[in-house]
Amino acid sequence: MNQKLETIGRENIPDGGVLIVPNRLQFEDLLHLEKLLGERKISYLIERNFDYDPLLQAHLEKEDVVALEFAAEEPFLDAFKKQIHASIAESEVIVFVPGESAARPGQNTTVPSNVLGFLTRGGAPVLPLFVDHPADTALGIETRAETECIVLSFGRVLEREAVNLSNYLENLMQAGEAAFSRRPVLGISLPYAILRGLKKHGASAKIVDGADDSELRYDKLLAAAIVLAGHIRKATQQPRVGILLPPGRAGLLANLAVLLAGKVPVNLNFTAGDKAVASCVAQAGLDKFLTVDPFVRKMSRFRWPPNKQLILVERLLPQLKLKTAWWFLLSKLLPAGLLATLLKIPKKGGQGEAVLLFTSGSSGEPKGVILSHRNLLSNVNQFGSRIDLKSSDSVLGCLPLFHSFGCTVTMWYPVIEGVTLVTYPSPLETPRLAELIEKHGVSLVLATPTFLRGYLRKAKAEQFASVKLVITGAEKLPLNVAETFRKKLGKTVLEGYGLTETAPVSNVNLPDPDAVERRPAVPSHRPGSVGQPIPGVAVRITDPNTDEPLPLHQPGMIWLRGPNIFEGYLGLPEKSAEMLRHGWLRTGDIGRMDEDGFLYIEGRLSRFSKIGGEMVPHETVEAAINEALGYDTESERKIAIVGVPDESKGEALVLLSAVPGLDATDLRYRLLDRGLPSLWIPKTIVDVPDIPLLASGKLDIKGCESLVKG
């Protein structure tokens, strides 16, 4: 046994008999488990007709080893059941040894659900065991010494009526989350991880800026960021720095420089209304903003901060060419640890604030989502281990940097893992994006269903020849869009799920592995679902009204737990406490999980609509309309916003109005004058005599929806 052993939940191993059901078990894992169980009498359950590792097979065939065979496709024979219960009665430990299966990297369990269902129907006490090999899902920057271990994480013993597949999966995920959360790499700082990534992959990976077809190797990017970081330190004493840039070379450089300066980047939504932007600036305490001249000129309608607060990157860097050349040479010569010390970059980050992103809240004020170093490194690791890209692959980065997907997956993930990043400032210009995909052999395309429709209109199948994965999120994927995309462009669209508060990915569908004879394939894709949880994420379901636990397979409120769950909202302790309870995040979404661990979203409690991938808060729109019309909302409710399905944008807003003769065009101009984004303005007005209210005086959301439908 060469690898060291770490155990979690060892106290959960009962003194009496129990059936241990692991998510996987290799030869060395089994030896560690036997040593851990000491003098306990052990027998094994093995699957008939499936392959086993030769070393494991030889071990199970020893004369002093008791091994019982079973086949999940056969009925649970009474004799077999009696044999298990007899062993349990003698305080014997029965260990299920899974046969080899075909599974993608980062799969939470390699055991088919029919086998797990068979084992949990036997009536014996079951102890879930999550076996984790960190080396299998490690970041590229981690050393062998940091990952060469085996983790045995024991869940809670399930007994009597609690023994079922739903409870087993729930406990297994929690044991997996406990194992993942202890990884040492999650304790380092985001800038130190990025520094290690750029050092390791500097000469082999690059950023391609599709706006001007320029390219910049990561080692040169690092040198420029170090120099710019020095200027930022002198320019402001504030802990956070604003960034007003789209995806591209300048956007990546600005974010990296802010981190290397020991400060927190705040990518602002320059498409939001003036009030929203001003609120974000005030909440974050920003006094300096990084941008470039061409973007300032392009966004002429945006209310820019005073010139003295702007740091124009493209003006500054040409003046610092000698410094950049010096740091390029020095960064090549010095190891990452010494370079970090020289630049005063902390090596530890943990739960300290690394990035601040803003998302709109139901109160109308944007909420600052604090993402820690631990959150972001977790999600880069989690998502990266599942998609399993190689150094020769490339990622298309066109999603806004003020969205968590654009921030984590198309910015920090590529530079840490050494994957080439191909950028473009807008996700809407699909003809140009398709050209870039073909020209640079892009492997991973991330989009919302709205943007996918653009590819359907403008792209050709040959332009997507290099693409390995097309992953979508932010709004529900219509099945007809997925099917048309597959037929026209030859690629399966894979739906995922996440929130800004989960940094952002929590679930994702991926291509199924190829089946191998005598090795069942564990599915990774199920249309209609948002995929299985990524490594280190646990899921539970509760009653939306009482928060009482429900089986995973029954629809209810979705709660998530993992090291990628955010640290809280900026300056909003009560709202943070409402969303976070004992490490669990209340998502506000209603859903269920099937027997193979795929999550299905069945509804949303919170009053938001996802339009074109953007979260639009109903209450904020209502407040703007009331202000535009001059109504006192305290006296009588005259309007209400309802979200309805929309084929082109995912959802659309409908205005219920008890205001006689309200004109949609007039209202639209009033709202635009007040700085409300065009996307947020309802195009349809439904006249009603009264707005439905509950007895408590609160808005009757279901009643409103009925009026819109009827």
CA 404 → CA 370, 407, 500, 515, distances in Å?
11, 5, 5, 35
Q: Distances from the Cα of 387 to the Cαs of 54, 395, 412, 460, 647, in angstroms? A: 29, 11, 15, 24, 28
Provide the CA 577 distance to its chain's centre, in angstroms.
Answer: 21
Q: What angle do CA 140, 142, 143 make, to 5 degrees?
A: 120
Tokens found for residue 548 = 């009482």
User: How many Cβ atoms sit within 10 Å of the Cβ of residue 118?
Assistant: 20
Residue pointed to by tokens 């999940």: 72
Sequence-ordered list of residues with C-beta below 8 angstroms from that of 352, at least 6 positions apart, any chain: 189, 372, 373
SS (H, E, C) 56-73: HHHHHCCCCCEEEEECCC
Task: Enumerate the H helices of 129-186 as residue ranges.
Answer: 144-147, 165-180
* Percent of all residues in the chain with a pLDDT value above 70, rounded to a whole number: 96
C-alpha atoms less than 13 angstroms from C-alpha of 661 in its C-beta half-sphere = 0
Q: What is the CATH number of domain 186-206+215-373?
A: 3.40.50.12780
CATH topology assigned to domain 608-709 = GMP Synthetase; Chain A, domain 3 (3.30.300)
pLDDT at residue 633, rounded to an integer = 46
pLDDT, tens digit, 9 for 90 and up, residues 178-206: 999 999 999 999 999 999 999 999 999 99
Judged against a pLDDT cut of 60, whether residue 620 lies above it is answered with yes
Q: What CA–CA distance (Å, rounded) separates 266 from 221?
A: 20
Label residue 273 by pLDDT band (50, 70, 90). Answer: confident
pLDDT recorded at residue 79 = 64
Residues 6+ apart with CB under 8 A from 546: none
Going from N- to C-terminal start, the domains of the chain cover 4-182, 186-206+215-373, 608-709
Nearest to 176 by CA among 122, 137, 146, 124: 137
Query: Rounded to 5 degrees, what angle do the CA atoms 567, 569, 575 make?
Result: 110
In Å, how far are 242, 284, 560 from 289, measured between CA atoms? Answer: 4, 12, 34
Q: By C-alpha distance, which of 510, 448, 499, 444 is closest to 478? A: 448
Average pLDDT over residues 569-577: 95
Complete DSSP assignment for 404-470:
HHHHIIIIIHHHHHT-EEEE-S-SS-HHHHHHHHHHHT--EEEE-HHHHHHHHHH--GGGGTT--EE
Question: Model confidence at 482, in pLDDT bands (50, 70, 90)?
Answer: very high
CB-count exposure of residue 708 (10 Å: 0-12, 13-18, 19+): middle
Q: Where are the beta strands (DSSP E) in 71-125?
A: 93-97
Q: What is the mean pLDDT of residues 291-316?
A: 94
pLDDT tens by residue, 220-256: 999 999 999 999 999 999 999 999 999 999 999 999 9
pLDDT computed for residue 75 by the predictor: 62
